[in-house]
C-alpha cells in the first residue's frame, strides 16, 4: 500500500514527530506508514486523514495486490 502521508505532512510543515504526537503514536509508526511497511487500523487511518485534512481514500493508495 502506498501513501501520500509524507507529501501532505510537508504541506502542513509537520515533522513525523509532530504528526505522531497529534495522532497518538510513535514517530517510528509514521515512518513505517510512509514507507508502506505498516497497515494502520481504521482508527489510526482516520486520525491521520483528519489531521492532514483529507480522506482515507486520498491518503492511502490501494492496489489490487493489497487486497490479496
Query: 38-66: per-residue pLDDT in tens?
Result: 999 999 999 999 999 999 999 998 777 66
Bridge partner list, 60: 3
C-alpha 10/C-alpha 38 separation (Å) is 20
Task: Say if pTM beats, i.e. exceeds, 0.75.
Answer: yes
Q: Is the pLDDT of residue 68 over 70?
A: no
Beta-carbon contacts of 50 under 8 Å, excluding residues fewer than 6 positions away, are none
Cell matching residue 17: 514527530
Amino acid at each position: 500500500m502506498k501513501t501520500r502521508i509524507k507529501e501532505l505532512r510537508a504541506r502542513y510543515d509537520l515533522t513525523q514527530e509532530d504528526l505522531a504526537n497529534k495522532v497518538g503514536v510513535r514517530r517510528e509508526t509514521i515512518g513505517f506508514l510512509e514507507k508502506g511497511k505498516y497497515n494502520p487500523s481504521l482508527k489510526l487511518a482516520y486520525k491521520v486523514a483528519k489531521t492532514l485534512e483529507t480522506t482515507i481514500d486520498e491518503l492511502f493508495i490501494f492496489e489490487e495486490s493489497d487486497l490479496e
